[in-house]
């Protein structure tokens, strides 16, 4: 029987190479796969392009990965927040690239990659500086901008429950971009709070079907970015 | 002596114009206050673009669920009958025209309905757009709540936005501390004046031609 479980977090991320494009689930602190990100810091891959809605907070998780000099480029919709300092200082020093994508366009570009659709038209950004240089077209008298799909080599995802086939459930708003990223990456690596036996997730309640998931590791007590920051933690 | 509306009164005035049963998305800042002033007998269903319909008020600190946040990354609650979904579904609700009303703050709004609320365009500033451009293009009615002028007294209702646009020609109604103002084919028109405020005062603090109440 299929079992996508890996014995350790480090083995699950061991083959992420320098220069890889990596999607990281989460919206701010909710859904951020802190343990997988920290394993990628330990592993040391550099020159990464990272796709996430934000750029991390404090000096843990995504902000720590960026702070460790492993990220060449961020693709995100909102690269600053009240507690993000690492990305802003590197950006102002010209040491990291930024591709700014509106949040809904970011989600749809990721979804399109998973769905095998190389580009689509959206009204978002029409008439703004973010549409400059992009192909546009009229449909039924309204102008739309063409946006390409956004693919990735790897996705790092946090979920609530997983079964051996990789079927996933999420918790509340921690779901956010994760089901889309599972579809869009060549290799999707998931940390689950609970690894259940086959049949323990009701097929009616599966959010991400296992076909979109490649590797599973169990992290029963995942760290939360806000808690780590409140404790004044940093990584490594 | 100018009186006008407080932040709370501006939010209450905006809530008054939202029909019963509307699906509503509230921006960060004064727009968030709208949820405190739902008129008696009406129910709004709040959408938060990170993935929930049926967002409820913030919890007590000890009742926080670390997986339950709103688009402003603040901890919130879910009302009975709430639903969670991923970002592509959430922005399908927005872009697909399923959300009835979005209430936003702004830096500038123009007489032709253009809105600029995401970037000052200053060199060296870190651009951050979030879902603002999706919301203004997709939601059926875009309401703006804003002080009539900036802290230094510059008009925020202008002929043309000098800041980079979030979207062109999208705003329908503006709620300020001085008046309720519609964007019409003829430009700004005052719908209602705040208590103690004259049309002449509104006109003098507006950076574009503005029509008196009909």
User: Which 3-state string (H, E, C) describes chain A?
Assistant: CCCCECCCHHHHHCCCCCCCEEEECCECCECCCHHHHHHHHHHCCCCEEEECCCCCCCECHHHHHHHCCCEEEEEECCCCCCCCCHHHHHHHCCCCEEEECCHHHHHHHHHHHHHCCCEEEECCCCCCHHHCCCCEEEECCEEEEEEECCCEEEEEEEEEEECCCCCEECCHHHCCCHHHHHHHEEEEEEEEEEECCCCCCCHHHCCECHHHCCEEEECCCCCCHHHHHHCCCECC
Interfacial A residues in 69-98 facing B (CB < 8 Å):
77-81, 87-88, 91-92, 98
Distance from CA of A55 to the nearest CA of B (A): 11
All residues of chain A having their beta carbon less than 8 Å from the beta carbon of residue B166 are: 128
**pLDDT at residue B104, rounded to an integer:** 96
CA atoms within 13 A on the CB side of A79: 25
**pLDDT at residue B125, rounded to an integer:** 84
User: A interface mutation test: which of B68, B76, B129 has the most A CBs within 10 A?
Assistant: B129
On whether residue A149 sits in a domain, the answer given is yes
List, for residues B138-159, the tens digit of each pLDDT value.
Answer: 999 999 999 999 999 999 999 9
Residue-number span of the structural domain to which A104 is assigned: 17-230
On whether residue A235 sits in a domain, the answer given is no
Given the structure tokens 């992009």, which residue do they identify? Answer: A134
**pLDDT at residue A172, rounded to an integer:** 98
ipTM associated with this complex = 0.96
**pLDDT at residue B148, rounded to an integer:** 98
Q: Which stretches of chain B sit within 8 Å of chain A by CB? A: 48-52, 65-70, 73, 78, 84-88, 90-91, 94-95, 114, 121, 124, 126-134, 137-138, 164-169
Integer Cα distance of A6 and B116 in angstroms:
49
- pLDDT of B1 over the 80 cut: no
Average pLDDT of chain B is 95
On whether residue A85 sits in a domain, the answer given is yes
DSSP H or E run through B135: helix B132-138
Helix (H, G, I), strand (E, B), or coil: what is residue B147?
A: coil
Q: What letter does residue B119 receive in the DSSP assignment? A: -
Distance from CA of A91 to the nearest CA of B (A): 8
Confidence class of residue B44 from pLDDT cuts 50, 70 and 90? very high
All residues of chain B having their beta carbon less than 8 Å from the beta carbon of residue A103 are: 49, 87, 91, 129-131, 134
Q: Which of A109, A107, A112 is nearest to A134 (CA)?
A: A109
Cα distance between the two ends of chain A:
37
pTM: 0.96
Integer Cα distance of A66 and A60 in angstroms:
10
Helix (H, G, I), strand (E, B), or coil: what is residue B30?
A: helix
Separate counts of helices (H) and strands (E) for chain B? 4, 13
Nearest by CB to residue A103, choosing from B52, B91, B137, is B91
- pLDDT of B204 over the 60 cut: yes
Are B134 and A88 in contact (CB < 8 Å)?
A: no
Are A104 and B164 in contact (CB < 8 Å)?
A: no
Among B26-35, B106-115, B118-127, B152-161, which is the least confidently predicted range?
Answer: B118-127
Angle between helices B87-95 and A103-115 (to 10 degrees): 120
Average pLDDT on B9-37 reads 95
Integer Cα distance of B56 and A4 in angstroms:
38
Other beta carbons within 10 Å of B61:
7
On whether residue A2 sits in a domain, the answer given is no
Helix (H, G, I), strand (E, B), or coil: what is residue B151?
A: coil
Q: Which residues of B149-158 are buried (b: 16+ CB within 10 A; e: fewer)?
A: beeeeeebbb
On whether residue A236 sits in a domain, the answer given is no
List, for residues A138-155, the tens digit of each pLDDT value.
Answer: 999 999 999 999 999 999
The CATH number of whichever domain residue A175 belongs to comes to 3.40.1080.10
Distance from CA of B91 to the nearest CA of A (A): 5
Confidence class of residue B194 from pLDDT cuts 50, 70 and 90? very high
Distance from CA of A181 to the nearest CA of B (A): 10
User: B interface mutation test: which of A102, A155, A168 has the most B CBs within 10 A?
Assistant: A102
Give yes or no: B62 in active site.
Answer: no
- pLDDT of B209 over the 80 cut: yes
**pLDDT at residue B124, rounded to an integer:** 78
Q: Which of A127, A158, A129, A126 is nearest to A61 (CA)?
A: A158
Query: With a cut of 50, which residues of chain A have pLDDT below it?
Result: none
On whether residue A3 sits in a domain, the answer given is no
On whether residue A8 sits in a domain, the answer given is no
Beta bridge partners of A154: A22, A187
The number of distinct structural domains making up chain A is 1
Integer Cα distance of B66 and A58 in angstroms:
17
Confidence class of residue B2 from pLDDT cuts 50, 70 and 90? low
Where would I find the beta strands (DSSP E) of chain B? 23-26, 45-48, 52-56, 77-84, 101-104, 108-110, 115-116, 141-145, 157-158, 171-175, 179-184, 187-193, 210-211
8 A C-beta contact, residue B107 and residue B114: no
Q: Which domains does chain B have, with CATH numbers?
A: 7-211 (3.40.1080.10)
CA atoms within 13 A on the CB side of B62: 0
8 A C-beta contact, residue B147 and residue B154: no
- For residue A169, CA distances in Å to A93, A166, A198, A219 come to 40, 10, 13, 14
């Amino acid at each position: 029987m299929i079992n996508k479980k890996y014995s350790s977090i480090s083995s699950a991320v061991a083959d992420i190479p320098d220069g890889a494009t990596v999607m990281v689930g989460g919206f701010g602190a909710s859904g951020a796969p802190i343990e997988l990100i920290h394993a990628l810091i330990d592993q040391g891959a550099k020159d990464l392009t990272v796709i996430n809605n934000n750029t991390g907070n404090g000096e843990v998780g995504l902000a720590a990965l960026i702070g460790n000099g492993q990220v060449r480029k961020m693709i995100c919709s909102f690269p600053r927040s009240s507690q993000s300092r690492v990305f802003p200082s590197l950006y102002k020093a010209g040491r990291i690239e930024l591709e700014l994508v509106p949040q809904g366009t970011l989600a749809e570009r990721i979804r399109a990659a998973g769905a095998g659709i190389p580009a689509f038209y959206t009204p978002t950004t029409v008439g703004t500086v973010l549409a400059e240089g992009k192909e546009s077209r009229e449909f039924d008298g309204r102008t739309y901008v063409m946006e390409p799909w956004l693919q990735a080599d790897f996705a790092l995802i946090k979920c609530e429950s997983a079964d051996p086939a990789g079927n996933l459930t999420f918790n509340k708003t921690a779901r956010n971009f994760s089901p889309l990223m599972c579809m869009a990456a060549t290799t999707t690596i998931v940390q689950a709070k609970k690894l259940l036996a086959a049949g323990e997730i009701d097929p009616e309640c599966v959010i991400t079907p296992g076909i979109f998931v490649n590797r599973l590791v169990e992290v029963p007590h995942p760290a939360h970015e806000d808690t780590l920051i409140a404790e004044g933690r940093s990584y490594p | 002596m100018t009186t006008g509306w407080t932040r709370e009164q501006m939010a209450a005035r905006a809530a008054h114009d939202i029909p019963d049963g509307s699906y509503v998305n509230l921006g960060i800042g004064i727009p968030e206050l709208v949820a405190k002033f739902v008129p008696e007998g009406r129910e709004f269903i709040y959408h938060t673009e990170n993935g929930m319909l049926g967002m409820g008020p913030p919890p007590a600190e000890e009742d926080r669920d670390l997986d339950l946040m709103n688009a402003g990354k603040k901890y919130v609650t879910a009302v009975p009958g709430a639903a969670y979904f991923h970002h592509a579904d959430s922005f399908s609700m927005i872009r697909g025209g399923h959300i009835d009303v979005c209430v936003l703050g702004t830096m500038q709004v123009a007489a032709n309905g253009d809105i600029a609320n995401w970037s000052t365009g200053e060199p060296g500033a870190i651009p951050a757009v979030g879902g603002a451009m999706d919301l203004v293009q997709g939601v059926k009615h875009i309401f703006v709540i804003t002080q009539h002028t900036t802290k230094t007294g510059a008009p925020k209702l202008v002929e043309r936005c000098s800041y980079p646009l979030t979207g062109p020609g999208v705003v329908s109604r503006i709620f300020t501390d001085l008046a309720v103002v519609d964007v019409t084919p003829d430009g700004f028109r005052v719908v209602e004046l705040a208590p103690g405020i004259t049309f002449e005062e509104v006109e003098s603090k507006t950076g574009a031609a503005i029509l008196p109440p009909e």
